Structure 1
Amino acid sequence: MKALMIIAALAGVVATTSAFAQTPAPTDSSQASQPAAATQVASNDTVPTVAPGGWVPPYGQAVHEKTRAEVYHELVQAEQDGQLAYLNSTLYAH
């Protein structure tokens, strides 16, 4: 039983180590001076730049940030439409 568990563990280690393997270093001396990350890739200028860890809108569309006046207007409109009363009676009734 222990031998079977050891074999399964070794098979798992062998299968997953290839996922963390790095690409081999170039043997040509002209390519050795340039890092692999320096390769130029075509860029799409329509995609907005996002800080690391930031939220990316769906399909790369820009999101309009609302002003306080716009948010207040939406709140007043939701009160007049009855949306807030409906939410309070269904979601927040507990």
Structure 2
Amino acid sequence: MRYMPDALMKIRERFGPELHLLHDVHHRLLPREAAEFAKAVEPARLYWLEDPTPADDQDALKLLRQHSTVPVAIGEVFNSIWDCNKLI
């Protein structure tokens, strides 16, 4: 949470705005941490932030969206249409 915002900004500054910059969090953050982290990486203009919280935690995703505009990729752990029906 402390290292990656600066690291992502350095990558963005080095390679410019055309690079599709992604970061996979692997479901490791608590909802509050995910919201804080997403807000912190906004200046790096990520293409997406992947799996900041568990995909089935709708409240965490709502909190994240209330605090950040970073695009979120989520759901690769879903195995059927029924797993993602809440997201849809």
**What TM-score do the two structures reach when normalised by structure 1?**
0.18
Richer in strand (by share): 2
Greater relative CO (CA pairs within 8 A, separation 6+): 2
Richer in helix (by share): 1
